[in-house]
Structure 1
Amino acid sequence: MNIIQKILVPLQGSPNGSSAIEAGLHFAQTFGAHLSILHVRPDSRDIAPLAGEGISGAMVEEMISSAEAENSERLQKARTTFDTCMAKHNITLTSPSPRERKPGTVSASFSALTGNENEVIAFQARVSDVIVVPHPNAGDEISSSEALHSVLFDSGKPVIIAPSTLPPALGSRVCIGWNGSPESASALQSFLPWAYKAEAVQILYSEEYQRRGPHATEVKDYLAFHGIEASVQEFGVIRNNVGASLLSACDAFKADMLCIGAYSHSRLRQLILGGVTRHVLEHAKLALFMGR
């Protein structure tokens, strides 16, 4: 099940950027895939309309110049982070074109595009197999991060949130959070290549959080059709906190990766993610595979 061939890692200067690159490279090595690092430069010309809001042309030019300098510094930092990681692992650098690499081999490229960060990343994600992003640092950043909302809800592709500190193994012992919903089904289908490669797979469910839909035992049978052996484990919900209970069950299994559906109680992107999703994002120490 070697269908993962292009892994996108947006690199925008996050302090956890190195972990995201390392995680992306690990999965590129697992699947013999291409690692595509993307840096998006904001268009400094977007500042120009401010001239009509009581700001002089000279001030606008100064602001554009300052923005250009800041953008160049961010780009240089991103490129240095990328080059350091590739040199550490002796990875061959190629162009983003698939015509310049042999299918099934590990390769990497760095691209810098100019435009709206969230839009460019979402568009590039649509022609990738999976997106690996750095883990946000704080709860406030998670709930308000437009970039995270963009890749989760606008890309149409699964997203892996890399942990701040990578575990010794990644994708070796994996859990699948299941509640019968369409979102969890979509995440499950996208997660099949990882489940197939894993050494141990466990399906986690709670009768208290089960939605109308197939039971976890049916997921076990579904995975068996794909040649994937999995165990099923029910977890109890402690103090009405499904997210914390789910992570506790992952710890008990010694999982290094969790697959869940991404939920939102509102379709308006500016509102925070659903409670379970948000708790898992804020507190997980393992890699999160999310789809919807």
Structure 2
Amino acid sequence: MTHKSILVHLANDEEHQTRLDVATRLAKQHDAHVSALFITTPVGMPAEIYGRGASVQFLLDATNSAEKKAAKLEKEFRDTCERNNISYSWVVEGGDHISLLADHAHAADVIILSQPSHEHFEDRFRTRLVEEITLLSGLPCLMIPKGFDASKPIGKRVMVAWKSTREAIRAVRDNLSVLRKADEVLLLSIRPNTQDALSLGEIDNYLERHDIQAKTVKIAETESSIGQTIHDAAETHNCDLLVCGAYGHSRLREMFLGGVTKYLVNHATIPVVMSH
């Protein structure tokens, strides 16, 4: 897939400017259109949730504050796009973040979201946002870690977490344009068995036919979880982007027993693009 249409999730939260900066930089890099969707409803307060602070007045005040933020951000966004000759669109809506992002996903190639924090009770809904959109949108979701410096490169040194699964294959195909533009691509295989070793050679040949020269990294044994091993390997090789499949096991199993997706959503310190 070629990333020619980027959808970025915006809200009145601490990381919205970082997401927008990343989106415009990637749009310029890939000659892509960027669609900015600013959702005025508080990100931690879906319409069906009632709890701390979920009074009518709280929601009104939070929405008014978000609308003011949106108006200011829109001008900065338009100025940046026009200055850099970036094709763009700006949309402001109120409602459930998951539903609205899923609705707009049909006209995008990738969605940019932020990694959730875990400082407050409401943060559990931000975690749900990343998980649900990855599963429901049918698109690769680029998760930007908390506190990320948007001026840093993304996609120069890319690690692909490879395993012979549908999700990993989808992740590779979803991100061919990113891999093709990278200076270096690493194919990571952990505890490879016979089937994985065969598929690793096949995917290497597949990438080569797409003019992508990849280097293979194999880790035979690890005492850490697979998620931590993948992330540590990406950091060890100074990668600035991790490409992986999401929810290779059943979602229920990952929720209760943990898994690669859950680890990366909670602990990643570099951008991660996930496909399901």
Q: State the TM bucket, normalised to the shorter chain.
A: 0.7 to 0.9
2:148 counterpart of 1:165: yes
- Provide the residue aligned with 2:169 in structure 1: 185
- Provide the residue aligned with 1:98 in structure 2: none
How many Å apart are 1:264 and its aligned residue?
6.0
- Provide the residue aligned with 2:7 in structure 1: 8
Distance 2:96 2:195 in 1: 37
Identity score, percent? 24
Code of the aligned partner of 2:39: V
Cα 1:175–1:282 change in 2 (3 A) is same
Question: Any residues of structure 2 matched to 1:98-117 within 5 Å, and which?
Answer: 106-117=86-97
8 A Cα contact 1:162 1:287, kept in partner:
yes
Distance 1:253 1:183 in 2: 23
Code of the aligned partner of 1:147: L
8 A Cα contact 1:149 1:269, kept in partner:
no
Distance 1:287 1:187 in 2: 14
Distance 1:127 1:138 in 2: 31
Distance 1:209 1:125 in 2: 36
2:262 counterpart of 1:275: no
Cα 1:218–1:81 change in 2 (3 A) is same
**Equivalent position to 1:153, from 135, 141, 151:** 135
Cα 1:74–1:175 change in 2 (3 A) is same
Question: Any residues of structure 2 matched to 1:201-240 within 5 Å, and which?
Answer: 201-207=185-191, 215-240=199-224
How many Å apart are 1:284 and its aligned residue?
1.8
8 A Cα contact 1:203 1:230, kept in partner:
yes
**Equivalent position to 2:239, from 228, 231, 255:** 255
8 A Cα contact 1:16 1:135, kept in partner:
no
Distance 1:41 1:185 in 2: 36
Equivalent residue of 1:136, what SS?
A: coil
Code of the aligned partner of 2:65: E
8 A Cα contact 2:165 2:248, kept in partner:
no
**Equivalent position to 1:287, from 255, 271, 274:** 271
Question: Any residues of structure 2 matched to 1:63-82 within 5 Å, and which?
Answer: 64=56, 66-82=58-74
- Provide the residue aligned with 1:41 in structure 2: 40
8 A Cα contact 2:191 2:221, kept in partner:
no
Equivalent residue of 1:215, what SS?
A: helix
8 A Cα contact 1:41 1:114, kept in partner:
yes
How many Å apart are 1:175 and its aligned residue?
0.6
Code of the aligned partner of 1:180: S
Distance 1:201 1:241 in 2: 23
Distance 2:193 2:143 in 1: 23
8 A Cα contact 2:70 2:92, kept in partner:
no
Cα 1:219–1:265 change in 2 (3 A) is closer
TM-score after normalising by structure 2: 0.83
TM-score after normalising by structure 1: 0.79
Distance 1:235 1:177 in 2: 11
Distance 1:40 1:273 in 2: 33
8 A Cα contact 2:180 2:212, kept in partner:
yes
How many Å apart are 1:214 and its aligned residue?
5.0
Distance 2:142 2:176 in 1: 14
Code of the aligned partner of 2:63: N
Cα 1:267–1:284 change in 2 (3 A) is closer
How many Å apart are 1:147 and its aligned residue?
1.5
Equivalent residue of 1:92, what SS?
A: helix
Distance 1:229 1:179 in 2: 18
Cα 1:143–1:177 change in 2 (3 A) is farther
Cα RMSD after superposing both structures:
3.2
Unaligned runs of 5+ in 1: 51-62, 94-104
Unaligned runs of 5+ in 2: none
Cα 1:252–1:146 change in 2 (3 A) is closer
**Equivalent position to 1:129, from 100, 109, 112:** 109
Distance 2:257 2:223 in 1: 20
